[in-house]
């Protein structure tokens, strides 16, 4: 979680240091920026078993993985979560639970702590109940507050994650104050990334640059006030920065995501790119997938880079940017990320910013992540 765009970048030395296990796509929320598919039942029938997940973790550890994130969907929907945490702890992986907090009872929290869970990342959308419930499409605000309180009462380190968009960016100061009073060690003010549902809702979710800079000023004021009491992470979206982020330190560099059905991915969005040859851990060992599969080798390193990236003196900083964003905006994952102002496709990002932030425009309701609306949303655009 970088604090700014110049943060230290890890050299994984060819190892998948960070492993994200998407245990399930089942989730009680309907967030308008979600990255998960809707066919939960199909995935539920194909979810890896407890034994298969343990094998994945064992193979990842042998590859050099150090940290694991149990995520989803909502990972608390898996009844074997405590067992999986215990096994990860047993083989030496640092464990992190990424959760909405819905379902995090005292009983489950104690079970996870006893299993060896090291840290919890809890999502909170607002300090206001009505706004939270509207953004996530469920009566979840009080459940989240209760979960935050329980986490701290039981002495677990906590990252509060606030997805930041147009609707809640004005509450950044209130969120920092709440997190500080609660005793959170970290607050991640995560400006939304525009993929999947967030891309559908981009015009409604994207804040103006003025709002982003104002929030940045608030963040800096609180950093000075709190000192080392709480780390606050805040990064301006690359839609406004003129340079792309170094996505996962480059494709297939330090990050590995495993979907509920066992498909291995360089990032959670890579399945949105057509024509890639995805392989399941049920078909091949993780060592082969990481080191030899065409998928992970396709955009790894620098040799594949197109111009102007290939000749750019910043190519080892951003590795050409995000392949998924390049595909979603240009139709070709091999193109230069339009976030870069040196890209021949940068005008696409400029047009998106103009569309989302132009004054006196008609505003539409957010499209919630529910079945039957995806094609309709695209047709309206």
**Binding site, residues?**
27, 31, 34
CA-CA distance, 192 to 165, in Å (whole number)?
6
E strands in the chain: 18-22, 67-71, 94-99, 119-123, 158-164, 186-191, 231-234, 255-258, 264-265
CA-CA distance, 97 to 266, in Å (whole number)?
20
What separation, in Å, do the N-terminal and C-terminal C-alpha atoms of the chain show?
A: 33
Side-chain-side CA neighbours of residue 175 (13 Å): 30
Short-list 141, 120, 118, CA closest to 129 = 141
| Residue 135, token pair as written in the block | 């953004």
178 Cβ neighbours under 8 A, 6+ residues apart: 127
Q: Could you tell me which residues are annotated as the binding site for [4Fe-4S] cluster? A: 27, 31, 34
CA-CA distance, 63 to 13, in Å (whole number)?
11
Side-chain-side CA neighbours of residue 327 (13 Å): 15
Query: 56, 86 in Cβ contact below 8 A?
Result: no
Angle between helices 106-115 and 81-90 (to 10 degrees): 20
Can you spell out the DSSP letters for 121-189? EEE---SSHHHHHHHHTSS-HHHHHHHHHHHHHTT--EEEEEEE-TTTGGGHHHHHHHHHHHT-SEEEE
């Amino acid at each position: 979680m970088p604090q700014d765009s110049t943060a230290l970048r890890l050299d994984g030395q060819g190892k998948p240091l960070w492993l994200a296990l998407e245990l399930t796509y089942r989730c009680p929320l309907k967030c308008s920026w979600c990255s998960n598919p809707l066919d939960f039942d199909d995935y539920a029938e194909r979810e890896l078993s407890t034994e298969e997940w343990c094998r994945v973790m064992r193979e990842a550890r042998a590859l050099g993985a150090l940290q694991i994130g149990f995520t989803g969907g909502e990972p608390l929907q898996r009844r074997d979560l405590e067992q999986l945490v215990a096994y990860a702890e047993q083989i030496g992986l640092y464990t992190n639970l990424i959760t909405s907090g819905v379902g995090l009872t005292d009983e489950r929290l104690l079970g996870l702590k006893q299993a060896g869970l090291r840290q919890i990342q809890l999502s909170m959308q607002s300090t206001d109940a009505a706004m939270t419930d509207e953004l996530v499409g469920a009566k979840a605000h009080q459940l989240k507050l209760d979960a935050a309180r329980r986490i701290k009462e039981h002495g677990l380190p906590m990252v509060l994650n606030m997805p930041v968009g147009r609707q809640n960016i004005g509450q950044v100061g209130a969120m920092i104050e709440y997190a500080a009073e609660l005793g959170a060690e970290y607050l991640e003010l995560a400006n939304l990334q525009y993929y999947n549902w967030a891309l559908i809702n981009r015009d409604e979710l994207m804040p103006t640059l003025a709002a982003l800079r104002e929030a940045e000023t608030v963040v800096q004021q609180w950093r000075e006030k709190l000192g080392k009491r709480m780390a606050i992470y805040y990064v301006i979206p690359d839609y406004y920065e003129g340079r792309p982020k170094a996505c996962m330190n480059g494709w297939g560099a330090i990050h590995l995501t495993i979907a509920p059905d066992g498909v291995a991915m360089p990032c959670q969005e890579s399945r949105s790119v057509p024509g890639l040859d995805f392989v399941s851990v049920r078909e091949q060992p993780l060592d082969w997938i990481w080191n030899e599969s065409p998928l992970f080798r396709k955009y790894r390193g620098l040799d594949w880079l197109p111009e102007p990236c290939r000749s750019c003196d910043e190519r080892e900083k951003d590795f050409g940017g995000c392949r998924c964003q390049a595909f979603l905006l240009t139709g070709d994952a091999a193109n230069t990320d339009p976030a870069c102002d040196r890209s021949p496709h940068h005008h696409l990002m400029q047009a998106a910013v103009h569309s989302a932030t132009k004054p006196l425009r008609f505003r539409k309701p957010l499209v919630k992540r529910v079945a039957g609306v995806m094609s309709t949303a695209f047709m309206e655009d």
